[in-house]
Structure 1
């Protein structure tokens, strides 16, 4: 794994864990952290040894939002420092899917590996947006969430105005954005913002089980195509989505993973998927 300054990375049995690592600031988001997280996700997406990616926070927080020093710098410059807060990353030519989802986090939708957000503590502002671009979200029941933007004189940034209503419905999205009220992981589950909320002491064990299942028990090829199908469907008619499914299903029949999926079921053994 590459050396980073504001994140930690570790690979274990096909699961790449990315840990936001500024615990003394509740992992407040910086331009460097943005660059390092994106770099790690892109590297994981291209690495055959990685089957699943987990993002979590060091210490007692997930991400408290944008670092206040950065916001003060932007405020003092009248906004001139805003784009400078996002250092450039060396990126491959964008795929059609990434072109459909530009911005700071669209690359997560285009990543072929499933991404899980393990929200272990306070999750605010841009930290909350980060989780919305994960594929699965699990939270500590007691974790505190807030959109925060309206209380900072800001707006619904980085795609949250598009993404949040699709997860929780328009009325709930407007409530969370207008009021910037705090809510906990248990309410996040009721709203549909997270897949499941658990007591904090059980969170990482549960996420680990889900990640290991995705890393060992399902075809990585199937998961990558399903992820792309879902995200492309936002811009497709039903007929177009069905046509893609028909073509992908036919292509699946010639793959190793299809043969292995059938054989492992018939032989009652664990599958050995290759993604091919």
Structure 2
């Protein structure tokens, strides 16, 4: 498939989605949003893909929403009416399922790891999107700003819910209310990112993703990811009951049999994901 605002490639079980507007620091557009979701869905359906890495072309990750789309907005307008994609309404009648059907929250339901490889400046909507990735690796020269408060806006796209869960309320309020520029070392101390050197940054992130999905059962990864994110909306008793059911199912899986066999035989695993 040909894309306009992203690039998509697959190599050795890792799909890489590259936001591809380098002359605009990969500023977010409706086209980019639709294409990224299509690429994510393709990766989810592709048995040859076990992990997804999202990065940016050129020197930036994502500078936030394209300001040319925001400049004409007046009271009562929505960004969707000015060229940006409209956030899809939840398709499910279930309040529980609706939590995973928003603009970026669909990434939480993907049964494969999603890793943001933040290669350069990241702001606004780019930050929001990265919050719903499972891991955030950041190049040591990159910088982050939530940006909203300095544009007269508010914490949009689920960031007011997700960011405090990742870094705590005080750190979240600091980043949101000040909209200051934060550096990789302090973001790593908060637990928001893991920092890697600029040199060979993307290759290093792709290698981490590849090691993860080679040495761990894809089936286990998918189930545990669902447990963690659905657990945000469950009681301890409910989460415990799900774990008991899933453990029994695991015993019947091919990956459980392979997990025991490769350990006893002292060899590398050959998981199938089944």
Could you tell me the TM-score, scaled by structure 2's length?
A: 0.94
Report the CA distance shift for 1:80/1:42 in structure 2 as closer, same or farther (over 3 A).
same
Match of 1:83 in 2: 80
Give structure 1 regions of 4+ aligned residues with deviation exceeding 6 angstroms.
Answer: 91-97
State the distance in 2 between where 1:97 and 1:206 align. 36
2:175 matched to 1:176?
yes
Cα deviation code 1:149-202 (max 9, x no counterpart): 0111100000000001111111111111111000111211111111x1122114
- What secondary structure, in the 3-state scheme, does the structure 1 residue paired with 2:28 have? coil
Shift of 1:142: 1.7
Report the CA distance shift for 1:220/1:265 in structure 2 as closer, same or farther (over 3 A).
same
State the distance in 1 between where 2:148 and 2:203 align. 32
Query: For 1:255, which of 244, 253, 268 is the aligned residue?
Result: 253
State the distance in 1 between where 2:220 and 2:52 align. 16
Give me the CA root mean square deviation. Answer: 1.9
Determine if contact 1:55/1:117 at 8 Å carries over to the other structure.
yes
Query: For 2:243, which of 242, 245, 250 is the aligned residue?
Result: 245
Aligned positions, number: 271
2:12 matched to 1:21?
no
State the distance in 1 between where 2:93 and 2:54 align. 23
State the distance in 2 between where 1:162 and 1:242 align. 24
Match of 1:198 in 2: 196
- What secondary structure, in the 3-state scheme, does the structure 2 residue paired with 1:18 have? strand
Report the CA distance shift for 1:45/1:95 in structure 2 as closer, same or farther (over 3 A).
farther
Report the CA distance shift for 1:169/1:120 in structure 2 as closer, same or farther (over 3 A).
same
State the distance in 1 between where 2:232 and 2:224 align. 13
Determine if contact 1:98/1:109 at 8 Å carries over to the other structure.
no
State the distance in 1 between where 2:215 and 2:178 align. 42
Match of 1:226 in 2: 224
- Which sections of structure 2, spanning at least 5 residues, go unmatched? none
Report the CA distance shift for 1:237/1:87 in structure 2 as closer, same or farther (over 3 A).
closer
2:17 matched to 1:5?
no
Match of 2:145 in 1: 146
2:159 matched to 1:160?
yes
- Which sections of structure 1, spanning at least 5 residues, go unmatched? none
Determine if contact 1:17/1:53 at 8 Å carries over to the other structure.
yes
Shift of 1:94: 9.2
- What secondary structure, in the 3-state scheme, does the structure 1 residue paired with 2:199 have? helix
Determine if contact 1:142/1:186 at 8 Å carries over to the other structure.
no
State the distance in 2 between where 1:211 and 1:92 align. 31
Determine if contact 2:91/2:98 at 8 Å carries over to the other structure.
no
Residue pairs, 1:90-169, within 5 angstroms:
98-169=97-168
State the distance in 1 between where 2:19 and 2:144 align. 17
- What secondary structure, in the 3-state scheme, does the structure 1 residue paired with 2:71 have? helix
Match of 1:267 in 2: 265
